[in-house]
Amino acid sequence: RRRREVYKYQKVKEDWWRSSGDAHCEALSYGSGGVEHYNQTFSKAMSGINNADLEKVWKYVYGTSDLSAKEGLDAVTFDMCSDYWSGDNYHPIKRNCNFFTSTILKCGFELSQMLPPIGPSSTRKVWTCEC
């Protein structure tokens, strides 16, 4: 698998992503409803959690990969790990959307798991790629 690592995330300027029109991307989301995988346009402000303020959306680039979002997701939800990411196991601080993002970045795409400073729920690190 080929990849190019970005060692620190890069923020995408809001005026750029909001005006990106129909640029296609795949999105992964984790919340109390479990894991979701869907297609969307890059210019859409969205969140995987219901209580997010969509007027305050930031987007970041972490790196590139030849893997699809589905292949990255499969790397962390295989066999016995599928229950680990069920909606019943969601926790607002411990196993949340930010920890899911770190896990996908590290274990699915082999990129940096470093997240922007968006609050206490984004500080948990992934130590192993086994559930």
Asked, for residue 129, whether it belongs to a domain, the answer is no
Asked, for residue 101, whether it belongs to a domain, the answer is yes
48-54 contacts, C-beta under 8 A, 24 or more apart: 48/97, 49/97
Asked, for residue 131, whether it belongs to a domain, the answer is no
Alpha carbon distance 80, 36 (integer Å):
18
Whether the per-residue pLDDT at 13 is higher than 90: the answer is yes
* Residue range of the domain that includes 98: 3-122
- The first and second tokens of residue 86, run together, are 């069920």
Q: Give pLDDT tens digits for 25-77.
A: 888 888 888 888 888 888 989 887 778 889 988 888 887 778 888 998 998 88
Asked, for residue 130, whether it belongs to a domain, the answer is no
At residue 84, the 3 state secondary structure works out as: helix
Q: How many domains does the chain have?
A: 1
At residue 24, the 3 state secondary structure works out as: strand
Asked, for residue 78, whether it belongs to a domain, the answer is yes
Asked, for residue 48, whether it belongs to a domain, the answer is yes
pTM over 0.95: no
Q: What is the pLDDT of residue 4?
A: 54
